Structure 1
Amino acid sequence: MTNESSNSPNSLTALSNTLAEAIAQAGKTIVGLKAGRRGSSSGIHWRSGIVVTTSHALRHEDSVTLTLPEGTATATLIGRDPAIDLAVLRLPDTVSLPAANLGDTAQLRVGHLVVAVGRSLDTGVTASMGIVSAIGGAWRTWHGGKVDQFIRPDIALGGFGSALINTQGQILGMNTAAPRHSVLTLPAATIDRAVNQILSQGRIVRGYLGVGMQPVQLPEAFCRSLELEGNGGVLVVSVESDSPADRAGVLIGDMIVGIEDRRIEELDDIQRMLDPEQVGQPLAVKIVRGGQKVDLTIVVGERPRRAD
């Protein structure tokens, strides 16, 4: 009698076949690119005619040659968000590619199998398998960019701009380099929000006060005398001329201790108040100046563009 199980693929073979199929499907949406001196990178055909990749890989190019699953094409840069390391490119109308099949990162857990899928200019689709090594909540980059979820996969990067996929072949986000040779993934929700704003406004709008700041610790007795909760604050070390803060009367040496009835103790506390929807809105700011509490109103401006 034939053993029925001997005619069925074992679990490892089944998993291998599943991953190979998932990579093949995702690979149809992945492009390769070479720009400047950064070597080869990858990009993802995010939606019809729109490719996303990492901002720092492009330097200052206005057009980029892409290696497609079949042939090449020249894409134009339509916008970027250096704060989250994202660039958005537009394909010519003559190019037709399947759009990314996006997955939900809300169900992602530490230990889940994931694969980085890129495209080499020489060998085509590339893949690196690993697991999710860390998951966290929303966070901000050093440049103030808001990222919806912290995702750190334990994978080889294999080129900037590769896609992170699950075992179903769904694209969860885009991979970029992090400190100490690790990898971070920009989740799909973050990329979608940035793409929408770039397509509608041509740029990323962020709030701006026009001050240089550093966190400080205040003496407990001093905080008690002013009835301040906690003992932290943010010291103003510079004020840009004609900035929102300058027009509101902020001075060097002021200590910001509250905004809109929220206690301010760290720089991140202020960054959270400067999301795009706050531009043009007044903020009630509580500062300590010369040992006294002073209330000011700052109308949030739009952060000036900076060189990429």
Structure 2
Amino acid sequence: MSMPSLKLCWSALLSVLLLGQAVTAHAELPDFTELVKEASPAVVNISTRQKIPDNVAANSGGMSVPDLEGLPPMFREFFERSIPRQPSAPKGHQREAQSLGSGFIISSDGYIMTNNHVIADADEVVVRLSDRSELEAKVVGADPRSDVALLKVDAKDLPTVRLGKSEDLQVGEWVLAIGSPFGFDHSVTAGIVSAKGRSLPNESYVPFIQTDVAINPGNSGGPLFNLQGEVVGINSQIFTRSGGFMGLSFAIPMSVAMDVADQLKNSGKVSRGWLGVVIQEVNKDLAESFGLEKPAGALVAQILDDGPAAKGGLQVGDVILSLNGKPIDMSADLPHLVGALKPGEKAEMDVVREGDHKKLTLTIGSLPEDSEALASATGQSAESHSNRLGVKVVELSAEQKKGLDLKGGVVISEVLDGPAALIGLRPGDVITHLNNEPILKASTFEKVAKALPKDRSVSMRVLRKGRASFITFKLSE
């Protein structure tokens, strides 16, 4: 065989192989057509109307979403209710603001799920079905903490979705969303599960499902399906700087959403488990300071007075490693697990206290409506200071101890040049623990500070405006 013929054969073989790989890759991609046909009839469009007095509408100036470009990345609800520009109405009249979102039917007799913020403050909620008929909906109940709302329309024999188990989802698994982005009904987008158990700012009780499914304004409240055609989540939030899709979408797990919906249906409100603690992440330096092999768990920085944790023997400085046998790798795991428990249930904890492993059993309480409450501190009393840390401190007065529910502690009166300034301590900060030892008075602080080790992570518990946290630092001399 001549050389040109040999080259031609190799070229033909390579083309066949590449074609075969392309066909194989195409064959492995999922086909969503049957899923969409089956599920779409149960997905609805939701619009709301809210009457706005003239004086409010006039001041709004046709509100628009601010431009976030150039600001640090932040989470924002992408389905904010927008108030469209309208011509001035006669004095004494009221204007109407409209909002578009999505939802899905979970029972043939008319129960529908969506997001709380889609229907919040609405005077009227209208549901448009897949056949374009419209029904007025009643809000059965809504839960701002989980961003779940349950609606009811007066109808029978409606198409319904099939509900799946969100806990069975795997990272990398294909998922699909159906909704009304920008009002385009029954738009379908697909992607994969990017992560599970995500915590978002101000959303500590929902372990979000993160996906790269294209989600935009109007998808809010719509269903997230697995390949079996089962709803595994409610599309809720996106991470964006521009207001549009950037590949980071978040859905409420269906296990969380259905628990909320059942409680709203049965009692009209939602109760959650509560420990009554302020926790923080355990980083490498804190792990070393508390004698842990690796960074893990939730560090108890503060215990609220008369809460379940205080009654159950949990102490400041404890590192919670597991709850009812479920490991706590990140501090954000703890609120998810506690919130899923019912008030009155028992909870077993593995904690590390002063380097020793202990088991505690507590009775879970009920999350109050407002759990924020501790006074700030300033002080004046016997003064001391430590040149090693570079701070001057004074003892807390009896009134301050009572207000902060403390047995002791010192408050920083002045920050000098030194380690304290470098780690961000400020006048008014209250120090309650140093190097894992409680600080009851100024002389104790000076004694412990003088004995601090060099070139090793040291922890300090600080109260600032009533909020407690542990910080770490190293002394080089």
Q: Tell me the TM-score normalised to structure 1 length.
A: 0.68
Structure 1 residue 191 corresponds to structure 2 residue 251 = no
Q: How many Å apart are 1:29 and its aligned residue?
A: 1.9
| 2:331 alignment partner AA | L
Q: Deviations over 1:112-144 (max 9, x none)?
A: 4735233876x6x33133x32335455555533
Choose which of 74, 93, 111 in structure 1 pairs with 2:136.
74
- Point out the more displaced range, 53-62 or 136-145: 136-145
| 1:176 alignment partner AA | S
Within 2, Cα distance between the matches of 1:294 and 1:108?
33
Distance 1:119 1:168, change over 3 A: farther
| 1:58 alignment partner AA | I
Structure 1 residue 245 corresponds to structure 2 residue 309 = yes
> Secondary structure of the equivalent of 1:177?
strand
> Secondary structure of the equivalent of 1:28?
helix
Structure 1 residue 52 corresponds to structure 2 residue 113 = yes
| 1:197 alignment partner AA | Q
Q: How many Å apart are 1:178 and its aligned residue?
A: 2.1
Q: How many Å apart are 1:176 and its aligned residue?
A: 2.4
Q: How many Å apart are 1:51 and its aligned residue?
A: 0.6
Choose which of 176, 181, 186 in structure 2 pairs with 1:126.
186
Identity %: 22
Q: How many Å apart are 1:186 and its aligned residue?
A: 3.8
Q: How many Å apart are 1:179 and its aligned residue?
A: 1.4
Within 1, Cα distance between the matches of 2:169 and 2:140?
32
Aligned ranges 1:75-114 → 2 under 5 Å: 75-92=137-154, 94=155, 97-102=158-163, 110=172, 112=174, 114=176
Distance 1:276 1:67, change over 3 A: same
Q: Which residue of 2 aligns with 1:34?
A: 47
> Secondary structure of the equivalent of 2:332?
helix
Q: How many Å apart are 1:218 and its aligned residue?
A: 3.4
Q: Which residue of 1 aligns with 2:277?
A: 211
Contact map agreement 1:152 1:183 (CA 8 A) in 2: yes
Choose which of 103, 109, 125 in structure 2 pairs with 1:43.
103
Contact map agreement 2:40 2:178 (CA 8 A) in 1: no
Choose which of 113, 117, 135 in structure 1 pairs with 2:179.
117
Q: How many Å apart are 1:33 and its aligned residue?
A: 2.0
> Secondary structure of the equivalent of 2:311?
helix
| 1:178 alignment partner AA | I
Within 2, Cα distance between the matches of 1:193 and 1:100?
17
> Secondary structure of the equivalent of 1:52?
strand
Distance 1:306 1:45, change over 3 A: farther
Which sections of structure 2, spanning at least 5 residues, go unmatched? 1-25, 51-80, 83-98, 372-477
| 2:106 alignment partner AA | W
Please give the root-mean-square deviation of Cα atoms over the aligned residues, in Å: 4.3
Within 1, Cα distance between the matches of 2:171 and 2:313?
48
Contact map agreement 2:223 2:232 (CA 8 A) in 1: yes
Q: Which residue of 2 aligns with 1:8?
A: none
Within 1, Cα distance between the matches of 2:224 and 2:314?
45
Contact map agreement 1:207 1:278 (CA 8 A) in 2: yes
| 2:101 alignment partner AA | S
Q: How many Å apart are 1:163 and its aligned residue?
A: 2.9
Q: Which residue of 2 aligns with 1:7?
A: none
Within 2, Cα distance between the matches of 1:95 and 1:119?
27
Q: Deviations over 1:147-169 (max 9, x none)?
A: 5x835143243511223457886
| 2:193 alignment partner AA | A
Q: How many Å apart are 1:77 and its aligned residue?
A: 2.0
Q: How many Å apart are 1:266 and its aligned residue?
A: 3.6
Within 2, Cα distance between the matches of 1:284 and 1:171?
32
Aligned ranges 1:215-234 → 2 under 5 Å: 215-216=281-282, 217-218=285-286, 220=288, 223=291, 230=294, 234=298
Contact map agreement 2:298 2:328 (CA 8 A) in 1: yes
Q: How many Å apart are 1:301 and its aligned residue?
A: 0.4
Q: How many Å apart are 1:306 and its aligned residue?
A: 6.0
Q: Which residue of 1 aligns with 2:419?
A: none
Distance 1:24 1:244, change over 3 A: same
Higher relative contact order (CA 8 A, sep 6+): 1
Contact map agreement 2:46 2:126 (CA 8 A) in 1: yes
Q: Which residue of 2 aligns with 1:280?
A: 344
Within 1, Cα distance between the matches of 2:287 and 2:169?
44
Contact map agreement 1:54 1:87 (CA 8 A) in 2: yes
Distance 1:61 1:305, change over 3 A: farther
Q: How many Å apart are 1:87 and its aligned residue?
A: 1.3
- Point out the more displaced range, 48-57 or 71-80: 71-80
Contact map agreement 1:218 1:231 (CA 8 A) in 2: yes
Aligned ranges 1:132-143 → 2 under 5 Å: 132-137=191-196, 143=203
Within 2, Cα distance between the matches of 1:152 and 1:132?
7
Q: Which residue of 2 aligns with 1:303?
A: 367
> Secondary structure of the equivalent of 2:178?
strand
Structure 1 residue 256 corresponds to structure 2 residue 319 = yes
Contact map agreement 2:279 2:301 (CA 8 A) in 1: yes
Distance 1:242 1:63, change over 3 A: farther
